[in-house]
Amino acid sequence: MPKNLSPRGVKNKDRVLRYLDCAVFRHLHQIIEDLSETDPLIEPFDTVRGMFVEGGRVYPGSGLHRKSHVQIAVRNPECIKGIFFPLTGD
């Protein structure tokens, strides 16, 4: 069974390798792909976006959490129109 873990040698302990999360999504998409072979109304997804709430609240009563994040997976490379890199502060 895959596990989510912090990578060794990484100074920032907030970085987590989410292998288990990835395995769950891969499994769900495999089910969808299998169903799409027999049901024309079911189509595989090209992209997936997930919002994950993690960590403690930013302040008491807050709806914001310290480690909340969004993950985006592009399953169909045809959806990628370009790659943009942020400018560095050099």
User: Residue 28's closest CA among 17, 16, 44?
Assistant: 44
In a structure prediction context, what are the per-residue pLDDT tens digits for the chain, which is 90 residues long? 777 777 666 655 666 777 888 888 889 999 999 999 999 999 989 998 988 888 899 999 999 999 888 888 888 999 999 988 888 776
What's the full length of the chain, in residues?
90
Reported pTM:
0.61
C-alpha span between 62 and 60 (Å, rounded): 6
